[in-house]
Structure 1
């Protein structure tokens, strides 16, 4: 009982601090000491912690590389150019702008991860709506929702996917092939709900704006080659982390030569403190799994991939994501499923922890970060929850059915 209370208290302290972030202090400030306390009190053994670190090291290396790559792409003008293209292509129609924003957010999330959508694309979309004198709410909401729900397509789209990818037994292209149908179904349902929910904000038309700024060709080519490298890399033994690191190095060398960045800015963009936070959180979650939730979840979760079992798994994962946040929920469920889970069950977990967080502000660290990025422009809790409940219930059920159909 003492171990259960202690591990749960450590997790509550880590998550509470990560949500509140007083004075903007980094999440690792509490996560690392909490992990050390868990180790010192024997709630997690040193061999268990060492195995966690070794298992997660390649994933966290990739995370650092993709964050640096997204920042460098932004410095090359990729996102400002994308905003200009949105403003020109929509021709003043708010519904068209929403459809284009869905496409931009879905593509950005899939290729550069949800963090790029939240931190880099959201301000651009907000500025675009102001330039066009259109209501910003539907379009900035789209960035938040698709940062979560559109992150199911590729292993590189979300840290949750990266954590589960090694255990899936799938290749990069095999993962994408199975998840493509659930991804398309989810995005289509989200778009249909948005068009209905925000129908009053999507009426009328403003004067069209044209922005003919040149495309950042070099950066776009590098990003295209990076995506191709993610798919082809395993054939030649090149892990996604190395592909992202090479792409980041190419853009970094160009930016340094042109004095558009500095070594210190590159380190900040890679966010090493986030890596420490994830490692600390993983050790704390291991304690919760060992002493509190592991047994009940093992009894509840299935080990076969029939449709009822997949639906149960997806909705359990979604509930945990909204109770604990999606990152610790993923770590906990991976610990429960073990090193060789059923592929379908594992992918259903990813649907739950990626789509499910749209139900509440607390479901995803990306959503909390999106709220900070918007500041005073962030929508209220009530509306966010109403929209989230409508989209999550329908899209998660439909995506899980699509997963069942797509499984070999």
Structure 2
């Protein structure tokens, strides 16, 4: 017989464990992986009966396909980086800017939006941000607008495809939409969010952009990895084709990893161990354990409390309220726990409320550092490059962009639902 913990102590313990796990993930003492705190926390909650073994296993079983897909996308992004794809993108931005910091910002926005949508927000934060630093340094431009753009677009430009963000994968599973249906409904909100972000960036960083670029060192043009580009293009096409065939899009991602990974192994550019490490297995384990911890919090009172706050229906006001609540929750407990907590509540309302919640948890984290793990990773990249990340500047920029993009993207979603774009 499973141990049982009464409701109030179970609720207190579950929240305490969740906050402890998130604090550990933010601080990462001695560089320890997030799973070091999440796995024992999940085991503790199951052991004392705050969440049943059955409920914990069901949560893990639900998340396993999503986490497996995440691992494949991370591997594919790392293989693309090893082939120099991001360096080519940086060289393209440098050529495009033509001595104009404003054009450079536009180029970074375009590249970051495409990379985030196709290869996930983690690729933008971890792999593209260092390239943007190097590109700005070569051109003699002030790096702040460019590097803040990678942080904001890692979140804002992750609305387009199910593969763009782990939160998207979870929402995709709950939405009942096909891959094409998801992309059809989110294409206009994605574009609206990017354009609004760009407009705010042009105004907010006007002094940095007015400084222009100096006669910096012109970077050498790297060789374009044509096969890599072809494989990425075919993988994206595969996502749509597998959706039409009723198959999991993970098969398309696996195909891309097999081709690029197999070539890298044959040529001695990587090893099986390094290839497995690029899938971030400990981070994937962290996601599974965090899912169990969130299940304990949801089952011990949060679902009931949120249920009173989530409006019914898919009117514009209702969708905006869901998006706003999701954004608030993401900044309080991080976007991944937020979407795990909200999906069971909004899913019965159909695709509209699910995608509105997704808009909230993807755009909301641009307000605070703690809103998403991607933003925390971005801060580390900045510190590694000797660039200070100002909490005040980040928050002020977020106060300008988040309400605007939430309203604009939600309005576009509402219009798409009315037009039957999904």
- Kindly tell me the number of residue pairs found equivalent between the two proteins: 407
CA distance in 2, matches of 1:382, 1:248: 40
The secondary structure found in structure 1 opposite 2:228 is helix
Give the match for residue 398 of structure 2.
Answer: 388
| Number of the residue aligned with 2:374 | 366
Is 1:400 paired with 2:410?
yes
Separation of aligned partners in 2, 1:169 and 1:353: 19
What's 2:343 paired with? 334
CA–CA distance in structure 2, aligned partners of residues 84 and 160 of structure 1? 31
Alignment of 1:39-50 (within 5 A): 39-50=46-57
For 2:107, the equivalent position in structure 1 comes to 100
Alignment partner, residue 352 of structure 1 = 360
Which residue matches 2:197?
190
Q: Does the CA-based 8 Å contact 2:11-2:300 persist in structure 1?
A: yes
Secondary structure, in 3 states, of the residue corresponding to 1:212? coil
CA RMSD between the two structures: 1.1
Q: CA deviation at 1:210?
A: 6.3
Q: What secondary structure does 2:162 align onto?
A: coil
2:88 pairs with 1:81: yes
Matched, 1:72 2:79: yes
Q: Following superposition of structure 1 onto structure 2, how do residues 208-227 of structure 1 map, counting pairs within 5 Å? A: 209=218, 211-227=220-236
Distance in 2 between the 1:210 and 1:151 partners?
A: 29
Q: Which moved more, 1:30-39 or 1:259-268?
A: 259-268
Residue 175 of structure 2 corresponds to which residue in structure 1? 168
CA-CA distance at 1:152 after TM superposition: 0.5
How big is the shift at 1:185? 0.7
Separation in 1 of the partners of 2:271 and 2:382?
Answer: 27
TM-score, normalising length: structure 1: 0.98
How far apart are 1:56 and its partner, in Å? 1.0
* Separation in 2, partners of 1:237, 1:211: 45
The question of whether the paired residues in 1 share the 8 Å contact of 2:312 and 2:349 is answered with: yes
The Cα offsets for residues 285-306 of structure 1, whole Å up to 9 and x where unpaired, read as 1111111311111111123100
Unaligned runs of 5+ in 2: 1-7
Deviation at 1:211, TM superposition (A): 3.8
Aligned to 1:179: 186
Which deviates more, 140-149 or 80-89?
Answer: 80-89
Q: Deviations over 1:248-302 (max 9, x none)?
A: 1110111111111111111110011011101111111111111131111111112
Q: Distance in 1 between matches of 2:267 and 2:109?
A: 33
**Residue in 1 that maps onto 2:5:** none
Task: Tell me how far apart the structure 2 counterparts of residues 294 and 151 of structure 1 sit (CA, whole Å).
Answer: 26
Aligned to 2:288: 279
Residue segments in structure 1 that go unaligned for 5+ positions in a row? none
CA distance in 1: counterparts of 2:395 and 2:252, whole angstroms: 38
Report 1:89-168 matches (<5 A): 89-168=96-175
Partner of 2:317: 308
Offset of residue 4 of structure 1: 1.2
Measured after TM superposition, the shift of residue 379 of structure 1 is 1.8
Structure 1 residue 169 displacement after superposition: 1.1
Q: Tell me, what secondary structure is at the counterpart of 1:304?
A: coil
Q: Which moved more, 1:76-85 or 1:113-122?
A: 76-85
The residue matched to 2:142 in structure 1 has which SS? coil
Does the aligned pair in 2 maintain the 1:137–1:379 contact within 8 Å? no
Distance 2:232 2:319 in 1: 34
Deviation at 1:54, TM superposition (A): 1.3
Which is worse superposed, 174-183 or 198-207? Answer: 198-207
1:317 corresponds to which of 301, 321, 326: 326
